[in-house]
Amino acid sequence: MKMSRSLRKVNFILVFAVLMVLSIIIPVAAQTSANISFGIRPTKALEGQEETFSYFSYHLSPGTIFTDEALVLNDGDELITLKIYAADGVTPQNGGTDFSKAGEESLGMSRGTQAWIALSATEVTLAPAEERLIPFQVSVPADVAAGQYVAGLVVETLPDEQSLDSGEGNSDNPDEAQFAVKVVRRVGVAAVFDIPGEQVAGLAIEDISLYQQDDEGSIFAIDLKNTGNIFLQSQGFFIVTDRNAERVITTTPLNFDTILPGDTISFFVPRSARFADGKYLLSIVLEYEGKRATLEGIGMNIKNGQHQIEGQVFDNIFTPEEIEVFFETEEKGSSFVWMLIAGVSFLLALGVGGFVYWAGGKKEKRA
C-alpha cells in the first residue's frame, strides 16, 4: 500500500513537471473580435483548412467562372441597412490585408479584382439576429497572370450624419461653431485567388527615414515593395552604425507582416532612446522566402536635435559573412533563451513536486 502511494506521488511530480514545461514552451493562442453589430463571412470552410471559414480561398485557372455565396448577419438589437460591394485588396500601414473604399482601386497587383466579383445584391436590410445569404459570381479574366490576388466583399452602414460642437458649453449657442460628420462602419471578408504558374518572391527596400524623434525616443519609417507575385512576409535587422561603419550603435530585430504583390507600404520601427547630435549610417537587412534584401549606408545627420537624411553615403558596409552572423546570432540567442526558460521551469516544477512529496511523506509518518 505504501509502495502504491509512493508511485502515485512520483507520477504526480513527473506529470506536474511536464505540464509546467509545456505551459512555457507552447505559445498560447488567443482570439479576440471587435464588438460589431453586423458581419460577413463564408458559409463553409475548405476541408482540412478551418481557417478558411473566415475568408474565401480559391485555386483557379484563368478564364474560370463559378458561383459562391456569403453570409451577411445582423447580431445587433436594431434594424440595419447595409451596403454591399466588392473591393480590391490593399496592404495597410505596417502590413496585413485591407480593402479599398467603394469605387476606388488599389495600386498593386490586386488592382481591378473587384471586377471579378458580381454580387446578386448591393444593399440588404436585416432585422435583429437575421442572416441573409448573398450569392455572387466570380469570373477570372482569361489573360490573368500567375500569382496571388486578393479581393474583398465589404458591408458597410449607410452614412450616419452627426453634429459636433467645436467647444464646450451650450450647443444651442448660435455663436458656437458646429460641424457635421458622416460616420460609416464597414467590415469585409477577403477572397484570395491563387492562379497557377510560376511563383516569384521579390522584395525591395526603397527607403529609410527618421519619422519622428522626441524625448521619448525615435521612430523610423521603412518603405518596402513586394516586387514578386506572391504574398510576402520578412524578418531581419535594422542596424545603426557610426559614420565610418566601424562601430555598431544599435541593432533592432524586425518582423514585418504581409505585403500583397505589387504594393509599397511603410513599416514603422520604434526605438526607446533618441539619438544624440552626430552623423550615423542606417542599414536594413531582411530575409524572405530563402532570399535576402539589403539597403545599406544611408546617412543620417542629427544637429541640434533636428534630423536630416542624406541618402546613401556608403555602399556594401557588411560582407555576406557578417550578415550571416546577424541571423545566426539571433537564432542561437532565441533558442538559448527558450531552452533556459524550459530548464528553469522544469527545475522549478521538480522542486514544487518534491516539496509536495516530502510534505505528504511527513503526514504519512504522523499517521
Q: What are phi and psi of 360, to 5 degrees?
A: -65, -35
Clarify whether residues 59 and 128 are in a common domain. Answer: yes
Helices (H) and strands (E) in the chain, counts: 2, 20
Clarify whether residues 47 and 156 are in a common domain. Answer: yes
Give me the mean pLDDT over the 173-187 stretch.
68
| Final residue in a domain of this structure, among 318, 338, 362 | 318
Amino acid at 129: A
Confidence of residue 345 (pLDDT cuts 50, 70, 90): low
Percent of the chain residues topping a pLDDT of 70: 73
Give me the mean pLDDT over the 78-106 stretch.
93
Clarify whether residues 287 and 187 are in a common domain. Answer: no
**Residue 346 clears pLDDT 60, i.e. is over it:** no
168 or 18, higher pLDDT: 168
| The pLDDT of residue 335 | 47
The alpha carbon dihedral of 86, 91, 96, 101 has a sign of: negative
Give me the mean pLDDT over the 283-302 stretch.
93
| The pLDDT of residue 49 | 80
**Residue 168 clears pLDDT 70, i.e. is over it:** no
**Using CA atoms, how far apart are residues 68 and 133, in angstroms rounded to an integer?**
10
| The pLDDT of residue 139 | 97
CATH code, domain with 65: 2.60.40.10
Residue 5 within a domain: no
Residue 52 within a domain: yes
Residue 24 within a domain: no
**In this structure, are residues 263 and 106 in contact, taking their beta carbons and an 8 Å threshold?**
yes
**Residue 157 clears pLDDT 60, i.e. is over it:** yes
Min mean pLDDT across 91-105, 285-299, 309-323 is at 309-323
What is the grid cell recorded at 199? 511563383
Residue 30 within a domain: no
Angle value at C-alpha 139, between 133 and 140, nearest 5 degrees: 130
Name 353's Cβ contacts closer than 8 Å, sequence gap at least 6: 12, 13, 14, 16, 17
**In this structure, are residues 219 and 212 in contact, taking their beta carbons and an 8 Å threshold?**
yes
How many domains in the chain? 2
**Using CA atoms, how far apart are residues 67 and 120, in angstroms rounded to an integer?**
10
The parent domain of residue 226 ranges over 203-318
Clarify whether residues 185 and 277 are in a common domain. Answer: no
**Using CA atoms, how far apart are residues 152 and 335, in angstroms rounded to an integer?**
39
| The pLDDT of residue 166 | 54
Give me the mean pLDDT over the 162-182 stretch.
59
Clarify whether residues 236 and 308 are in a common domain. Answer: yes
What DSSP character marks residue 109?
A: T
Residue 329 within a domain: no
Give me the mean pLDDT over the 303-310 stretch.
84
pLDDT in tens, 187-246: 999 999 999 999 999 999 999 988 888 888 899 999 999 999 999 999 999 999 999 888
Clarify whether residues 220 and 115 are in a common domain. Answer: no
Amino acid at 287: E
Name 46's Cβ contacts closer than 8 Å, sequence gap at least 6: 52, 57
**Using CA atoms, how far apart are residues 259 and 253, in angstroms rounded to an integer?**
18
**Using CA atoms, how far apart are residues 119 and 59, in angstroms rounded to an integer?**
20
**Using CA atoms, how far apart are residues 159 and 181, in angstroms rounded to an integer?**
9
Clarify whether residues 58 and 110 are in a common domain. Answer: yes
Of 106-115, 153-162, 266-275, 318-327, where does the model show the most confidence?
A: 106-115
Confidence of residue 313 (pLDDT cuts 50, 70, 90): confident
Clarify whether residues 278 and 255 are in a common domain. Answer: yes
**Residue 338 clears pLDDT 60, i.e. is over it:** no
Q: Judging by DSSP bridges, how do beta strands 217-226 and 291-303 pair with one another?
A: unpaired
Residue 344 within a domain: no
| β strands within the chain, DSSP E | 38-42, 56-59, 65-74, 80-90, 98-99, 117-119, 123-126, 131-139, 147-157, 160-165, 178-183, 186-195, 203-214, 217-226, 232-242, 248-259, 264-271, 278-288, 291-303, 306-312
Confidence of residue 271 (pLDDT cuts 50, 70, 90): confident
Clarify whether residues 48 and 190 are in a common domain. Answer: yes
**27 strand-pairing partners:** none
| The pLDDT of residue 329 | 62
**Residue 131 clears pLDDT 60, i.e. is over it:** yes
Clarify whether residues 67 and 98 are in a common domain. Answer: yes
**In this structure, are residues 191 and 153 in contact, taking their beta carbons and an 8 Å threshold?**
yes
> What residue has cell string 481591378?
112
Clarify whether residues 150 and 208 are in a common domain. Answer: no
**Using CA atoms, how far apart are residues 273 and 252, in angstroms rounded to an integer?**
12
Residue 21 within a domain: no
Residue 134 within a domain: yes
> What residue has cell string 553615403?
313
Clarify whether residues 118 and 212 are in a common domain. Answer: no
